[in-house]
Structure 1
Amino acid sequence: MQASTVAIVTGASRGLGQALALGLMQADTRLTTVARSHDPKLAEHAAATGCTLQQVQSDLANPSAAERVAKQVVAGLPAGAKRYVLINNAGTVHPIHQAADLDNAAAITAAFSLNVTSVMLITAAFLQAVKPLQADCRIINISSGAGRNPTAGWGVYCATKAALDHYSNVLHAENHGVRIVSLAPGVVDTGMQETIRGSTSIDFPNVERFAQLHAQGQLAAPADVAGRILRYLSSDDFGTTVLDDIRNHA
């Protein structure tokens, strides 16, 4: 069966990325996922749904690896699909420190490589591959409210997400013939939230608020957020607003 949708999702082995990958799986979909590890759950669901799945294992925090992956995942994109989708979801909140303690160059560089550089590399390869196809092409960059509001202790995370937002604005301004949204997903119950709750109040003064959100059951389930994101992705007004928040959509 010829694929009707061709999709790429990064950071797909757990949390929101995994939920997005699972939600995309249909018999007429060709899905490529990128993560540091192979995910048996994705493989099992692909077999059950008839989705064509390719799992690429790589650490996108490594710029050289990200460059190789960017070329690999788009090299075999089939022509003739109705829709081509790229969801840049991989990201990290590390390192969490006050600005005076952000003195680990390797940790800072890895965060920028994962949150920004890999997005640029994979997006560039995607644009080069889909431009001749003249199809419906859509890109979601998973951003964060942290890129739009300063948060003490998140100097690196806020900076990378702000960079992602502005990069998305540039993509839109360049008019590559794709619809682009930098989308904040809200507060989702993922491994990143566990990392945040494990912070010290010295590094992250707002840690107690996130602990309370978890204790009070106020974190959104990844599957629920993924469902909303995928409904928005398929909507006619997708891309009308470049910097958006999924909580603005049903």
Structure 2
Amino acid sequence: MEMALVTGVSKGLGFQISKILTEQNIEVIGLSRSTNEKVQSLITNSKGRYSHISADLTHLDDIESLMKRVCERIADAKPHKLYVVNNASMVEPIERVGFLDHHAIQKAVQLNLLAPMLINNTLLKELRNEAVEVIIVNVTSGAAERPIHGWSVYNATKAAVNMHTEVAGLEQENTNGSNKIVAFSPGIMDTEMQGTIRSAEEDAFADINTFLGFKTNGKLRQPSDVAKALVGLILNEQLQNGKIYHVDELI
């Protein structure tokens, strides 16, 4: 038996990953702040393979207790493999340093960086003595590798996610165990996040016309196509601990 834990599942890439995994007969636990008709339909149509937990991952004090409960459920189910996809993130705030709201900075750092770090740490701690191979994928971004005007918070958090992945992957490799920790860069997709980017003020985001062009020129991939690439990677490929995988290498 195989299980999966996916965050940010109410829309976009997270929803599509969850849907494809259930179609592969993998039991999926989805985490997001809320549900919607798509999530409810997936719950109904998955024949018990999908369940949802409402959780706000910006509330850091709740993550450890939440993940301990999830780990108890996983341990009771006794899967031989667990896939974890840390997908939840936000691109906001889009603004120049010196104009940023401190609360917005804190919220983004909590969701984009601290939440996956706490999730990964708790999972590996609580499942250490269980006979389960843990495959962790941290969803990152090309923004981790190049500076973008107005994206100091998003760039910084995704760059930190990459380094967390590389260090944690190195540690797992040095244990000679079966666990894997990698990152996945999904490229530009036709999601609500892109809509948020296109609605930014030009003073705050100097590259806005480039991103407007991605939409008008049909350069945005569908989340379903990117999700297929990610699921194919984790199900079918021999993963290299600590590696940052890019969607362009897989599609």
TM-score, normalised with respect to structure 2: 0.92
Greater CA deviation, 221-230 or 25-34? 25-34
Residue number in structure 1 paired with 2:219: 218
Contact kept, 8 Å, 2:43 with 2:51, in 1: the verdict is no
Aligned residues: 246
Q: In the alignment, residue 171 of structure 2 is paired with which amino acid? A: E
Q: Alignment partner of 1:101: what SS?
A: coil
Q: Secondary structure at the match of 1:100?
A: coil
**Match of 2:33?**
36
Tell me the residue number matched to 2:237.
236
Which deviations, in whole Å up to 9, do the C-alpha atoms of 1:124-153 show, x marking residues without a partner? 121123332333321100000101111111
Q: After superposition, what is the alpha-carbon deviation per residue over 1:14-65, rounded to whole angstroms, capped at 9, x for unaligned? A: 0111111111114742211110102332332343232432211121112123
In the TM superposition, what is the alpha-carbon distance from 1:154 to its structure 2 partner?
A: 0.2
- Quote the Cα distance in structure 1 between the aligned partners of 2:53 and 2:169: 28
Secondary structure at 2:52 match in 1: strand
Give the structure 2 partner of residue 22 of structure 1.
Answer: 19
Distance 2:193 2:24 in 1: 31
Please give the TM-score of this superposition, normalised by the length of structure 1. Answer: 0.92
Counterpart in the other structure of 1:64: 61
Report what 2:97 is aligned to. Answer: 99
Deviation, structure 1 residue 223: 0.5
Instruction: Look up the SS of the partner of 2:84 in the other structure.
Output: strand
Contact 1:5 1:84 in 2 (8 A): yes
- Compute the displacement of 1:79 (Å): 4.5
**Which residue of structure 1 aligns with residue 143 of structure 2?**
146
Cα distance in 2 between the residues matched to 1:188 and 1:153: 20
Change in Cα spacing, 1:12 to 1:69, as seen in structure 2 (3 Å) is same
Contact 2:87 2:139 in 1 (8 A): yes
Q: Deviations over 1:77-132 (max 9, x none)?
A: 13432321100000001111112212x22111111100011101111121123332
User: What amino acid sits opposite 2:80 in the alignment?
Assistant: K
How do 1:41-190 and structure 2 match up within 5 A? 41-77=38-74, 78-102=76-100, 104-175=101-172, 177=177, 178-190=179-191
Query: Letter of the aligned partner of 1:30 in structure 2?
Result: E
Structure-2 residue corresponding to 1:199: 200
Structure 2 CA distance for partners of 1:132 and 1:199, relative to 1, 3 Å: same
Moved more, 66-75 or 12-21: 66-75
State the alpha-carbon separation in 2 of the partners of residues 226 and 27 from structure 1.
Answer: 13
State the alpha-carbon separation in 2 of the partners of residues 223 and 135 from structure 1.
28
* 3-state SS in 2 of match to 1:131: coil
Distance in 1 between residues matched to 2:127 and 2:26, nearest whole Å: 16
Name whichever of 146-155 and 18-27 sits farther off.
18-27
Give the aligned CA root-mean-square deviation in angstroms: 1.7
Structure 1 segments of 4+ aligned residues over 6 angstroms from their partners:
none
Q: Secondary structure at the match of 1:19?
A: helix
Amino acid at match of 2:62: A
Which blocks of at least 5 consecutive residues in structure 2 are unaligned? none
d(CA) in 2 for partners of 1:240, 1:36 = 30
Deviates more, 1:195-204 or 1:236-245: 236-245
Q: Distance in 1 between matches of 2:122 and 2:249?
A: 30
